[in-house]
Structure 1
């Protein structure tokens, strides 16, 4: 796998997969019949932190197309892909559409216009294209980079008598340190929320590079996944063992990842959390609660001596163009405005997450974000993002059963293998 390109201390904010604001689509939320209006569907444009981003993007687009109105419709995230599916089935709906990278967009490329002829000038400036590409064609322009750093609370480590600047390098030492932290501070090891079945996605991608060999990892991303591999099974065994051993915060299957699990880490009820690089559950949120010097980022502790831990990240979210839009070139211009440096810079100031623009300086972000930036160079795509969306959904349900003890690891990997094969 080729090495990622690192830019000048810089990565910026964006949108995330967390629940958004807004109401379901109304009768006027479709592509404008008159040709002088573009409708955008997303799940974040109604958020306060997105206000300047939207303003900057609209201003940039108006410079090119002052006669075209742009309407943003912020949909509720828990209904987003259902609403979008209905629009796709009807063959009409918004002109510009926000997607999560990976399976969510790859499963729907038949409803989208390829963007390659419109966004050639942006290819070098923006990172994260792979998550929005299928069969060599880009179907959305990346707004954010999304990944899953393992954050830790340096103050809790210090209180427990551990070296806050040198966290455990192996899984066994990590588990031992967790026991010391719980004994000395009362805090659990890992803040976990799996009510939505999302916790397993974070766990798989965060600990996968410490468990799979580099070849197994690259094969997984390339679609050559061996679900019967002992190393693959080991990840799901660790998922269950960590819970059985009391490493997780209580009631993981009844705890929402957004935002209850993150709140547990912020309130020092857990010493570690697998977080995000975007605008929720990320370094900026955590430092606002705990302080910049308290939030650390550690490599995944080594499970397999043959593995090479790395930061899992991809393009997080991106905007694509519906194939039914009247003028794909004009709609693509709006996508370019939504990924312009000015627009993304506004999100850095207001939200502080990590986005796709490689030219924006993030040097003032503090120690945690500087660690993330330094690890992007050798980072690899997240394991769960490479899976078909239906397999990810199945994995969420099976992960809940694993925590409850109603299914075995062998049964889990067998079902996932079958789903992946037909995905």
Structure 2
């Protein structure tokens, strides 16, 4: 072959390569997308660095994607989503609560994820997937991928128990031993119950007690087979809360202390012996283990009392939060991958290890985290769960109304019977 022919052939080959490279570059450029994510956790100082890290991990895995993570205020979050739905535009991905009325109301704007999760569905228990479906009915389709489970229970400071002459390795799980422990703590100059009558302390304690009242029959509250005013154990639970207040076992400054984050920080600083906290995110085993020492935190899920037919029941939300994909998204396939990334594999493991979230994903390695109290919690979760009764039929307005009534009963402004009647009125509006 002559030099001229070789030269021409070389030019043609070079031109072909250039064309291919340019073509690929054009295709790649066309595939560059931005995922907009709305979130009510992103501004939380305890969550933000970790979520930034996970977003970066996701963008490294998918270099053609840019994540636009937008923090939204929790108190306005679902109103903002409703406004986005009316305009039929907004985030590709939205953080949602499991089993909440606000989420179910947005059902028609949430993508069904059943086909997407099929290959790895078994990693997460069906109880969680059920709550991730609209109105807990799998026939309606799964609308979010669970990132966390949530629940409530009592943490206690073993060092303060020992200081008061109590056995730090014996949790005061029944009513009489709980009262006796509070009395000894108070006599030793230790605040028995951190928190008080303001906002969530009373709310979360009621949820713990209700787990023993209703147990596995809690779903009867949805159809009227179970009630409040007609249930002697529920009214007894209300009377127990009043008794704790009257005996001075709550923090004497509790009326002016917000639960988030003041009461949580007080317990973490050793300013009280018992705290009704959460299982995931904040005010939990992770935060208190780091602050008080991993070996210094005890746990029990509820207070056993004779009127309640169940014992040691763990108030539980099979889904705390999870990401859903919105129907108006033009990038639904990538949005589904993003929701998955936070719920399984490296993304989920990073989230749990850094934040103390309680993941429903059974494939994650939580034992390596090294928190003994987490083993205790896991034991209750395996055998004694009762789904949190308040998440079944309430939205934001009713949540606040119930919390207000819980405070009124403790301050003596309404009695246990009136409180139970108020609860029945709310429940009747949501019977299925």
Give the TM-score of the pair, scaled to structure 1.
Answer: 0.83
Contact 2:196 2:252 (8 Å CA) reproduced: no
Contact 2:164 2:185 (8 Å CA) reproduced: yes
Q: Give 2:245's match in structure 1, choosing from 232, 239, 243.
A: 243
Per-residue deviation, 1:306: 2.4
- Counterpart of 2:341 in 1: which secondary structure? helix
Are residue 303 (structure 1) and residue 305 (structure 2) matched? Answer: yes
Are residue 158 (structure 1) and residue 165 (structure 2) matched? Answer: no
Structure 1 range deviating more: 140-149 or 378-387:
378-387
Are residue 384 (structure 1) and residue 390 (structure 2) matched? Answer: yes
Q: 1:107 to 1:392 in 2, by over 3 A?
A: farther
CA offsets 1:128-168 (integer angstroms, 9 cap, x no match): 33332222121111111111121111111111111111122
RMSD: 2.5
Q: Give 1:373's match in structure 2, choosing from 374, 378, 390.
A: 378
CA offsets 1:355-407 (integer angstroms, 9 cap, x no match): 23211212232211121122221223222222322432220121122233222
Contact 1:253 1:400 (8 Å CA) reproduced: no
Structure 1 range deviating more: 166-175 or 50-59:
50-59
Counterpart residue number, 1:13: none
Q: In structure 2, what is the Cα distance between the partners aligned to 1:422 and 1:180? A: 44
Contact 1:99 1:318 (8 Å CA) reproduced: yes
Contact 2:197 2:410 (8 Å CA) reproduced: no
Per-residue deviation, 1:225: 3.3
Q: In structure 2, what is the Cα distance between the partners aligned to 1:48 and 1:383? A: 28
Per-residue deviation, 1:191: 1.6
- Counterpart of 1:190 in 2: which secondary structure? coil
Per-residue deviation, 1:224: 4.0
Q: How does 1:79-158 map to 2 (within 5 A)?
A: 79-103=76-100, 104-127=102-125, 128-134=128-134, 135-136=137-138, 137-158=141-162
Contact 1:204 1:384 (8 Å CA) reproduced: no
Q: Give 1:262's match in structure 2, choosing from 237, 245, 264.
A: 264
Structure 1 range deviating more: 312-321 or 116-125:
116-125
- Counterpart of 1:166 in 2: which secondary structure? coil
Q: In structure 1, what is the Cα distance between the partners aligned to 2:33 and 2:357? A: 33
CA offsets 1:95-145 (integer angstroms, 9 cap, x no match): 111012222423332332222122222321134333322221211111111
- Counterpart of 1:273 in 2: which secondary structure? strand
Q: In structure 2, what is the Cα distance between the partners aligned to 1:170 and 1:151? A: 15
Structure 1 range deviating more: 104-113 or 355-364:
104-113
Rg larger for:
2
Give the TM-score of the pair, scaled to structure 2.
Answer: 0.82
CA offsets 1:206-252 (integer angstroms, 9 cap, x no match): 22233x15454353477743122112222222223222221211243
- Counterpart of 1:397 in 2: which secondary structure? helix
- Counterpart of 2:241 in 1: which secondary structure? helix
- Counterpart of 1:117 in 2: which secondary structure? helix
Q: Give 2:417's match in structure 1, choosing from 407, 410, 423.
A: 410
Counterpart residue number, 2:326: 322
Q: In structure 2, what is the Cα distance between the partners aligned to 1:52 and 1:262? A: 21
Per-residue deviation, 1:35: 9.2
| Higher RCO, 1 vs 2 (CA within 8 Å, ≥6 residues apart) | 1
In the alignment, structure 2 segments of 5+ residues that lack a partner are 1-30
Aligned residues: 386
Structure 1 range deviating more: 151-160 or 228-237:
228-237
The structure with the greater share of residues assigned to helix is 2
Q: 1:222 to 1:55 in 2, by over 3 A?
A: farther
In the alignment, structure 1 segments of 5+ residues that lack a partner are 1-33
Q: How does 1:8-407 map to 2 (within 5 A)?
A: 36-46=33-43, 47=45, 49-60=47-58, 63=61, 66-103=63-100, 104-127=102-125, 128-134=128-134, 135-136=137-138, 137-184=141-188, 186-193=189-196, 195=198, 197-210=199-212, 212-214=213-215, 216-220=217-221, 224-228=225-229, 229-304=231-306, 306-314=309-317, 315-363=319-367, 364-378=369-383, 379-389=385-395, 390-407=397-414
